[in-house]
Structure 1
Amino acid sequence: MTLTLKFAKFDSKLMVCPACDDEYTHVEEVQIAARGEDEMPNEITVDAVTGRVETHGNSPAPTGTVVHDGRRQRIAVTGHCESGGHNFAIVFTQHKGQTLLEVVLIDK
């Protein structure tokens, strides 16, 4: 299910959970599917808390629902909310000369 990137009504700079509007969210990981057009991706994960970087990983970056993997690279910023326990990803997918922005719920 594709959601909308949302911000608090009282502060347009405060991102809220896309599922429940919780104001207490954490973004802690960036997942990248690095690749050229229609090539196999190099899955890269950067943990913003520990500083751990993993390349050639087995966990694919989250995908959106419009073009899924797309034809080129994909960058996902993953996070969660405190109150509802929802895990989400803000996904940028490069596909046919366009960049799609999608917000999706993910399993962690």
Structure 2
Amino acid sequence: MLVVPAELRAVAAAGRVASAVGMVVRDLRVAVRGPYAPGLDDREVARLLGLPLAGEVPVEPALLRPHPAPEPPGASGRGPLARFCTTFWEQALVEAGGTR
């Protein structure tokens, strides 16, 4: 999976990465991280890159805190990023024919 910020320069750079990585990775998908630049959304970024959309990576509030927390961000497994990852892996298992 290629995580790409929804900014024009990032999309251009991701296009170069995707073309190189796509030669060795059979199933490359894009997850888009906001905030979105004007005219860009997750579907447009995926279209521009020619990759299937894995989803939108949500903002993880714990990553925005300036002071150290007792646990690393995402350690609880209940935040928005953890939920995104859980959903992604569950979908990937179903597509691969596995079970949860």
Q: TM-score range by the shorter chain?
A: under 0.3
Larger Rg: 2
More strand by share: 1
* Alignment TM-score, normalising by the size of structure 1: 0.25
More helix by share: 2
* Alignment TM-score, normalising by the size of structure 2: 0.27
Greater length-normalized contact order (CA 8 Å, ≥ 6 residues apart): 1
